[in-house]
Chain A
C-alpha cells in the first residue's frame, strides 16, 4: 500500500511541477467549460428574421402577419409581394425563410373553404429550419382553431363543443429533462465529459513521453494504480467544479445528485486515465499527443451516439465508438444526472467503463514494462 501511496504522491507533485501539463489538464478543462457553452447560452433561437409574401393584403392576412410577428421565435422583417426578392434574401442568408399567403385568403375563409398557407424555410441549417417551421405552423394552427370555433358558434353549437371540436384531439407535450429543448442544456453536459477526457488524455500522454519503464511484476501494477489515482482525484475535483459551479453559472438543469454523478463517472474516468497511460507510450514528443487529440474530439463526440442518435450510426462504427471511454461515460452520465436514471438502469454502460478500464489497464501495464520509444531530447524548460 505504501508503494501505491508513494506513486500517488509522486505523480501528483510531478503534475503540479510540470507547467505544460498543468496548463492543459487544469487550465484547459476549466477554461473550456466556461468558454464552450457561450454560443449556445441563449438556449433557444429567437427572433429569426422571416419575410411574408402577402398576395391577399386583406384584414385577415394582416392579422395573420401580426400574430407571426408576435411569436417569440420569428420576427417579420419584410412584407413584399415579390417572391423572387424573398427567395433571393433567403439564398443570401438574410432571411431564415418566408411565408406565402395565397390571394383570396380572406374570401375563401369567409366562404368556408380551407386555404393553405405555405412556409418556406432554409433547411440547410437544421435549428433555423425547425424553429421557423414550428413557430409559423403553431401560429397558423392556433388561428385556424379560433376561426373554426367562431364558425361553430355561429352555426349554433354549444360553446363547449365549439371550443373542443376545432382541435378534435389535443396533445399535451411534456418536455422532459430539458425545458424548451434548450441547446446548451442538451450539448454542453456531454461535451464537458468529452473535455475531461481530452484534456486528461493529453496531459497523461505528455507525462508519459520519455518516462522510464514501470517496475517489473506486481510492483508495476501497484505503481500504475497509484499514479492513476492521482489523476482520478483531479478529474473528480474538476467534475465537482463543473457540477457545483459551471452548472450554476449557466443554469443547466439536472435530476441526479452530485454523489451519484461521481459514482457514475469513476469507472469511466479510470478508463480514460488508463487509456492515456497506454497511448502515452506511443508518442515520442509531447506536442504530438496534443496534436493528435485535437483531431479526435469531433469524431469522438459524434461517435458517442448522443448528438447523432446511435440508432442511425452503422453498427461497426457504433462498436468502435464504445471503445472510446467518452461513449459509455456520456451515456451513463446523461442518463443518471440529467434523465433521473438510477445506476442500476445504466449498468450496461457502467460495466462497459469498468471493462475498458481493466482492458486499458492491462495494456498500460504491458506497454509500460516494455517502455516507450526514446523521447526526442527536450530542453530543460519543459520540466519547469
Chain B
C-alpha cells in the first residue's frame, strides 16, 4: 500500500491538472455560485405601469403596488406600445394596466378590471411578479369593500415552512455547488484510474500493489476520497453557514451523506472505466450521466410531478438522493428513517466497483487493454 501511495504522490506532483481539480476548481466553483446568489431574494423587479385613469384612486393603487417588496413600478406613461416594447427588450417583466374609468367604476361598484401582461418566459421573476401583483390587488379590493362596510368571509395566510423569508437562493446555491462538485469527483475518479490504462502504466500500478487489483484501487483512491470528503465537507459547511442556514437536523448525518456521495461518485466513475476501459469514452459517458443530473434531481421541478422515465432516472442517479437528504437534514429536520432510503441508494453506488473487481484485475494485468483512447 505504501508503495502505491509513494507512486501516486509522484504522479500527482507532476500533474498540475490534478492540483487544479482538487483544490482550485472546488474553491472557485463554490465562491462563484455563492456570489451569483449572494443577493438572495429577487426584489424590485421592474414592472411597467400604464395608468389610463390618472386619478387620486389610481395613484393610491399604484402606491399599493409600489409597497410590495418584489416589484418596482417603472415608466408610468400611458402608451401600450412602449410598455410592450419594454417587455420584449427585457426592461420590464410585466405590464400592469389601470383602465381609464377605474375611479368611476370603483365608486359605482362596477368592478374595474386591471390587466396584467406578465412575461412567463422567465420562471423566477414571472412567479414573483404574478404573486405580488395578485396579492396587492386582492388586498386593495378588500380595502374598497371595507370602506363600503363589506367584510370578507374567508382569508388565506400563506406560511412558508423551513424558509420564512422565501430566500430561494440558498436552496439553489448549495445544491448547485454540490452538483458541480459531484461532476468534478466523477471526473477525477475516472481520470486517475483511466489515465493509467491510457498511458500504459497500469502494469506498474498493479505491481506496486503486489499484483492485487483491489489493493491497487483502494490504495490509489483512498487519499482522493479522504480529501474530497474533508475538503468538500468544509466547503459545504462554510457555505451553509454563510447562507445562514440554521441546521434543523443532524450536521453529522449530512456530512456522512456527503462522504457517501463522494464514494458513490467514485463507484460510478470506476464502473465506467472498468466497463469501457477507455479514458475518453468513460469521461464522455459520465458526462451524459452526471451533467444533466441536476435537472433530474427534483430540486427545482418536483420529482412527484415527473413522468415515467424521468421519475425513474431521477431515482437511478446518485445526485438527487444526496440533495434530498441534504435539504431534509439542513432545512426540514427530516427524520433519519425517512432519509435512510437515500443513504442506502448512495451506498449501493459506492459498492458498484466490487462487482467489477475481476474485470479490474484483468484490465490492469493485460497490456492488450491499455492505450485505448
A contact residues vs B (CB 8 Å cutoff): 20, 23-24, 28, 31-32, 35-36, 38-42, 44-49, 87-88, 90-94, 96-97, 109, 112-130, 133-134, 136-137, 140-141, 143-144, 147-148, 151-152, 161, 163-183, 185-187, 286-288, 290-291, 294-295, 297-299, 302-303, 306-309, 311-314, 317, 331, 334-335, 338-342, 345-346, 378-379, 381-382
- Residues on A with C-beta less than 8 A from B179 are 298
Given A117-B156, A165-B148, decide whether A93 and B111 contact each other with a Cβ distance below 8 A: no
- Assign chain B's interface to a size class: 35 or more
**Are A287 and B125 neighbours in the complex by a CB distance under 8 Å?**
no
Given A112-B151, A117-B156, A169-B114, decide whether A161 and B119 contact each other with a Cβ distance below 8 A: no
The list of the 10 closest CB pairs from A to B, nearest first, reads A123-B160, A92-B338, A164-B111, A123-B163, A168-B144, A45-B305, A178-B120, A341-B88, A147-B153, A168-B141
The residue of chain A having its C-beta at the shortest distance from the C-beta of B135 within the complex is: A137
B5 at the interface (CB under 8 A from A): no
**Are B299 and A381 neighbours in the complex by a CB distance under 8 Å?**
no
- Residues on B with C-beta less than 8 A from A127 are 300-302
B372 at the interface (CB under 8 A from A): yes
Would you list 12 pairs from A and B whose C-beta atoms are within 8 A, ordered by A residue?
A31-B288, A93-B338, A123-B160, A128-B302, A165-B111, A169-B61, A186-B123, A294-B183, A307-B123, A308-B172, A309-B42, A339-B121
Given A294-B291, A381-B373, decide whether A306 and B122 contact each other with a Cβ distance below 8 A: yes
**Are A345 and B141 neighbours in the complex by a CB distance under 8 Å?**
no
- Residues on A with C-beta less than 8 A from B116 are 171-174
B contact residues vs A (CB 8 Å cutoff): 17, 21, 25, 29, 32-33, 35-46, 61, 85, 87-90, 106, 109-127, 130-131, 133-134, 137-138, 140-142, 144-145, 148, 150-164, 166, 168-169, 171-172, 176, 179-180, 183-184, 187, 191, 279-280, 283-284, 286-288, 290-292, 294-296, 298-302, 304-307, 309-310, 313-314, 324, 327-328, 331-335, 337-338, 371-373
The residue of chain B having its C-beta at the shortest distance from the C-beta of A188 within the complex is: B295
Say which residue of A168, A288, A339 sits within 8 Å of B111 (CB atoms): A168
Give A115 to B151 CA distance when docked, in angstroms.
Answer: 10
- Residues on A with C-beta less than 8 A from B158 are 118-119, 121, 133, 136-137
Known: A45-B304, A109-B154. 18 other contacts (CB 8 A): A39-B295, A90-B161, A91-B328, A114-B153, A119-B159, A124-B162, A164-B111, A171-B133, A173-B116, A176-B118, A176-B121, A291-B191, A299-B33, A309-B125, A311-B125, A341-B88, A345-B85, A345-B89
Which of B39, B134, B141: most chain A CB closer than 10 A? B141
**Are B171 and A125 neighbours in the complex by a CB distance under 8 Å?**
yes
Given A91-B328, A174-B117, A379-B372, decide whether A187 and B157 contact each other with a Cβ distance below 8 A: no
**Are A125 and B328 neighbours in the complex by a CB distance under 8 Å?**
no
A39 to chain B minimum Cβ distance, whole angstroms, is 4
B282 to chain A minimum Cβ distance, whole angstroms, is 9
- Residues on A with C-beta less than 8 A from B279 are 287
Give A166 to B111 CA distance when docked, in angstroms.
Answer: 9
**Are A170 and B156 neighbours in the complex by a CB distance under 8 Å?**
no
**Are B160 and A118 neighbours in the complex by a CB distance under 8 Å?**
no
B328 to chain A minimum Cβ distance, whole angstroms, is 6
B17 to chain A minimum Cβ distance, whole angstroms, is 6
**Are B137 and A178 neighbours in the complex by a CB distance under 8 Å?**
no
B122 to chain A minimum Cβ distance, whole angstroms, is 7
Give A121 to B163 CA distance when docked, in angstroms.
Answer: 10
**Are B87 and A339 neighbours in the complex by a CB distance under 8 Å?**
yes
Say which residue of A165, A331, A382 sits within 8 Å of B145 (CB atoms): A165
Given A120-B159, A125-B171, A125-B327, decide whether A20 and B125 contact each other with a Cβ distance below 8 A: no
